[in-house]
Amino acid sequence: MWTWFFQLASPRWFYQTANRLLAWLRPLTLVLFLVGLYLGLLFSPADYQQGNTVRIMYVHVPAAYLSMFAYVVMAVSGAIGIIWRMKMAHMVSVSCAPVGAIFTLLALLTGGIWGKPTWGTYWEWDARMTSELILLFLYLGYMALHSAFDDKKTADRAAAILAIVGIVNIPIIHFSVEWWNTLHQGATLSKFEKPSIDADMLKALLTMILAFQLYFFVALLQRIKAEILEREKLSGWVQKLVSD
């Protein structure tokens, strides 16, 4: 039952599996982006209040969701790395950070661009925006901490601890709009009732979320591959791979 788990722990096996996955993940991501952009920019209607400004949602919502998803992957793989002393898990964790940081930055920027015409401000220190900004600082802190150590093992463990501690911020981001008075509106999709969104807008949004999700895996797998080559450069199979 645990064979897959130990196979996953082998950098060589992971590298080869990543290659096989990427072969069909890359074109699928591209197709989903094209369909999603068509649905979002042309097919879906404008909003009754916001007009065409609402289309920023098709980038903002997936980016914000993945900024949190990437963090959870980073923290969980960091924890697996610490508990099982598995170097492959640390490589996954380290590879998540820059990808997650970019999604966070994208969510903050598109949020500002969306906020100006609808709310009347780029930025307000409300709980949702502030906690998302803290998420960006957690990613940056993680990367800074990891690069501060010369020894990879120490760096992996120290950074993983930071990632694990920072996970308390994830529920805060999600529930901030419920717990406190915020400028940011409440959840549209992730609530127990029916999503309060037009059906055509929902189609576009879900397609874009899926496209971003797959793009995340593509970017993550490519970073992991680079990380494997870097760390295993002295091993026989990497030497052979490079010389071929």
Partner 1 sequence: MAMKPQRKKRLTTILAGIVGVGAIVGLVLYASDQQMNLFITPTEINAGSAPKDRIFRIGGLVKVGSVVRSQTSLQTDFIITDNFADVNVTYDKIMPDLFREGQGVVAMGKMNEQGIFVASSILAKHDEEYKAPEVLDALERAGHPVEKSDKG
Closest residue by Cα to residue 159 from 141, 177, 172? 141
CB 215 within 8 A of CB 30: no
x/- letters, 155..194, toward partner 1 (CB under 8 A): ---------xx-xx---x------xxxxx-xxxx------
Only one of the segments 7-15, 16-24, 51-59, 221-229 lies at the binding site for partner 1 (rule: CB under 8 A); that segment is 51-59
Taking CB under 8 A as the criterion, the residue among 46, 144, 226, 241 binding partner 1 is 46
Phi, psi angles (nearest 5°) of residue 47: -80, 150
x/- letters, 79..108, toward partner 1 (CB under 8 A): x--xxx------------------------
Sign of CA dihedral 112, 116, 117, 119: positive
Residue type, 40: G
Both tokens assigned to 164: 């694990």
- Kindly give the interhelix angle for 87-118 and 11-38, rounded to the nearest 10 degrees: 20
Both tokens assigned to 220: 């993550």
Taking CB under 8 A as the criterion, the residue among 51, 178, 237, 241 binding partner 1 is 51
Residue closer to partner 1 (CB basis): 22 or 183? 183
Footprint (CB under 8 A) of partner 1, residues 2-31: 2
**Integer angstrom CA distances of residue 221 from 26, 48, 95, 226:** 11, 40, 8, 9
What is the size of the binding site for partner 1 (CB under 8 A)? 45
Taking CB under 8 A as the criterion, the residue among 31, 196, 230, 241 binding partner 1 is 196
Q: Helix or strand or coil: residue 97? A: helix
Does the footprint of partner 1 cover residue 42 (CB under 8 A)? no
Place of tokens 């068509």: 38
Taking CB under 8 A as the criterion, the residue among 42, 48, 236, 240 binding partner 1 is 48
CB 176 within 8 A of CB 131: yes
Only one of the segments 6-14, 22-30, 39-47, 102-110 lies at the binding site for partner 1 (rule: CB under 8 A); that segment is 39-47
Residue closer to partner 1 (CB basis): 11 or 166? 166
Taking CB under 8 A as the criterion, the residue among 119, 137, 149, 217 binding partner 1 is 119
Closest residue by Cα to residue 160 from 101, 102, 86? 86
Residue closer to partner 1 (CB basis): 145 or 229? 145
List residues near partner 1 by CB under 8 A.
1-2, 45-54, 57, 79, 82-84, 117-121, 124-127, 164-165, 167-168, 172, 179-183, 185-188, 196-198, 200-201
